[in-house]
Amino acid sequence: MGKSFGPKLTSRLEGFYIAVNFFYIKDVHNASLSYYYQKDSTVKVRDDFGVRKTIWGGNFLGGYQLAHSKRIMVEMYVGVGIRFRDIITENKEYVYKRDGLVRAMDVTVAGFKHDTESRGGQSVAPNFTLGLRIAFKL
C-alpha cells in the first residue's frame, strides 16, 4: 500500500509564479573599436584592447510553468532588475574624453557595448530578461 504523488505534485508545479534571482558574471575578452583621434574626423584610428568585466545583480521574475507531459515541463518567464558592472581595460589607446568613438547610424546593442567597454570603470544599469526553459525528468 503506497501513496501516489504524481498527479498532485504536477498540478502544484503548474501555473504562475514570482521569484527573485541573483547572478554573477566574470568575463575576459579582447575588444576592438574605431575612433576619431582628438575628435578629428579626418584621422580615423582602430584600437584593439583587453577587457575584464565583473558583473553582478538581481532580477524580479514572473513566469508560468506548464507540465507538457510526465517527463517534460515548459516554463516562460520575464524579469526586470539591476546590474552592477566593474570594467577594467588593458592596453587601450582610446581616451573617452579626448577622442570621438565611431558609432553606427542606428542604436544597436553592439554600440552600447562598445560605449560601455570604452569608458571602463564602474557603472549601474537596468537589467531585463526574457526566457523559455524546458525541463526533462530523468
Per-residue pLDDT of the chain (138 residues; tens, 9 = 90+): 444 444 544 556 788 999 999 999 999 999 999 999 998 888 899 999 999 999 999 999 999 999 888 889 999 999 999 999 999 999 999 988 899 888 888 988 888 888 888 888 999 999 999 999 998 888
Query: In the prediction, which pLDDT does 6 show?
Result: 47
Query: In the prediction, which pLDDT does 69 show?
Result: 86
- The grid coordinates listed for 118 are 570604452
Tell whether 33 is covered by a domain: yes
Q: What is the spatial distance between Cα 72 and Cα 101, in angstroms, rounded to a whole number?
A: 48
Tell whether 1 is covered by a domain: no
Query: In the prediction, which pLDDT does 1 show?
Result: 45
Tell whether 87 is covered by a domain: yes
Could you tell me if 121 and 96 are in contact, meaning their C-beta atoms sit under 8 angstroms apart? no
Q: What is the spatial distance between Cα 18 and Cα 28, in angstroms, rounded to a whole number?
A: 33
Tell whether 99 is covered by a domain: yes
Q: What is the dihedral of CA 54, 132, 10, 12, to 10 degrees?
A: 60
Q: Which domain holds residue 45?
A: 6-136
Could you tell me if 30 and 51 are in contact, meaning their C-beta atoms sit under 8 angstroms apart? yes
Q: What is the spatial distance between Cα 113 and Cα 124, in angstroms, rounded to a whole number?
A: 14
Query: In the prediction, which pLDDT does 96 show?
Result: 86
